[in-house]
Amino acid sequence: MQLDFEWCYRAVDSRDSRFDGWFYTAVTSTGIYCRSSCPARTPLRRNVRFYPSAAAAQSGGFRACRRCRPDTVPGSPEWDTRADVAARAMRLIADGVVDRDGVPGLARRLGYTERHLHRMLTAEVGAGPLALARAQRAQAARVLIETTGLGLAEIAFAAGFGSVRQFNDTVRQVYGVAPSALRRGSARSTGAAGLAGAAGPAGETIALRLAYRPPLHAAALLGFLGTRAVPGVEARDGDTYRRALRLPHGPATVALVPADGQIRARLQLSDVRDLAPAVARCRRLLDLDADPVAVDAALAADPALAPGVADDPGVRVPRAVDGFEIAVRAVVGQQVSVAGARTVLARMITQPPDESEPLVPFPGPEEVLELPETAFAMPGRRRQTIRELAGAVAGGTLDLDPGADRTEVAARLRQIKGIGDWTADYIALRALGEPDAFLPTDLGVRRGAAALGLPDDPATLATHADKHWAPWRSYALIRLWRYA
């Protein structure tokens, strides 16, 4: 990524929070790196270096500013929307793949050699996969230090470090103090990051705040997720959305509440090693790394959408915590109402005998393959499509994770009998984070277009979308559903 010095310096001088996460400002005279909106005095030009990632700044010998907490900013929207190898790698690293499978495992997932992958990431973000994973471990460690009562040795391994010594050295280098000093600071105050937490009876409960770039239309997000909430898996109660998560080391639940320019998240983890993937999946679900100003500006250029964008800024694309779950939802939702799909999906949920936690994760592909026929309240052809879909994911021939190749996934999906363009594009929209998906044949989309005075003929509507809404057709689609 090429950073223009003057462009970045102007953003820092104006303390523009819109660019938090796009780049990081390092100051040679202090040895500190900051977010673009750091309230400290603007450094002299000759003392400034700009880096495309926190890991790159750390590799350059700089430590994180303890005032602006640059590790708490939203991620770069590039890695959330781009479909190239570097972006796919960034999404997989955020999901903890390097911590679980190492760099060789990441390289295998992407189909490249470790050396080539290192070269690509270094060229794009200024750091290789190990350095990027190390920066993420440091952030996870800080959260655990400040929000839980775990011992420091337990935190070291929970955050993914190979040894306590590596943990101590990394925290000192990244934050400029020992882990024990971070804990003493958090005992005096909830801290600049606004974190607080306590141990729970069924595991570790961690409360934290998820940053995003404003504006955020929270009501649209909650409305979409609440209307489609599958009983037993998720629920909406007022401004709180709760759901179960299937994480690498065990199940978890999360409660998400929009509040004061951030999302408050309360995670109940069965294994604290799942902190980083849990946070990554919650951010992805709510589309928190998006750049709503850029999206809204592009859509507002169309006179048909301009009034709605002005009235309702910051509409996001509700995405997914589990790609397979979204794929099953898409198949079940073919030509049925939202309420009908919820009823059918609820039949697939097996509640445990212990009812202390009413929410359980949506069944994985292996579990779906073992469900009795009575759990599929749908036509036989659709039931067969779901079983074939589950078999492909379980067998490794179909990858619906955030790091999957979108083109390959689309082609593979269409090979499954019963999956056509609407289903494949819906999966791309929500499971893969495609920012430019569109469903011109969808009845809700056509009704929304008609409400705006646009033609509802699919071919004509698709042409209009290509001309006026690309590369953000996914966001236009969500708005059309709202108008419908």
Q: Which two tokens stand for residue 475?
A: 């966001």
Q: In this structure, which long-range contacts are made by residues 352-356, counting pairs with CB atoms below 8 Å and at least 24 apart in sequence? A: 356/202
Nearest Cα to 94, choosing from 21, 175, 145? 21
Q: How far, in Å, CA of 320 to CA of 308, rounded?
A: 25
Helix (H) or strand (E) holding 469: none
∠ CA 156-160-164, rounded to 5°: 30
Is there a contact between 306 and 300 (Cβ–Cβ < 8 Å)?
yes
442 labelled catalytic: yes
34 labelled catalytic: yes
**Residues paired with 256 in a beta bridge:** 241, 265
Written as one string, the DSSP assignment of 130-159 is HHHHHHHHHHHHHHHHHH----HHHHHHHT
Q: Is 239 helix (H, G, I), strand (E, B) or coil?
A: coil
Q: How far, in Å, CA of 144 to CA of 204, rounded?
A: 10
| Residue at 289: amino acid letter | D
Q: Tell me the HSE value of 282 on the side-chain side, using a 13 A CA sphere.
A: 32
Q: How far, in Å, CA of 57 to CA of 80, rounded?
A: 21
Nearest Cα to 319, choosing from 226, 451, 443, 427? 427
Nearest Cα to 361, choosing from 372, 374, 352? 352
Q: Catalytic: which of 8, 20, 34, 95?
A: 34
Nearest Cα to 63, choosing from 30, 14, 38, 41? 30
Nearest Cα to 88, choosing from 410, 393, 404, 409? 404
In order of 75, 138, 259, 319, 389, the CA distances from 289 in angstroms are: 5, 20, 17, 12, 29
Q: Catalytic: which of 274, 287, 425, 442?
A: 442
Cis omega before residue 471 (within 30°)?
yes
Q: How far, in Å, CA of 432 to CA of 53, rounded?
A: 23
Helix (H) or strand (E) holding 205: strand 203-210
Is there a contact between 256 and 264 (Cβ–Cβ < 8 Å)?
yes
Q: Which residues form the catalytic set?
A: 34, 442
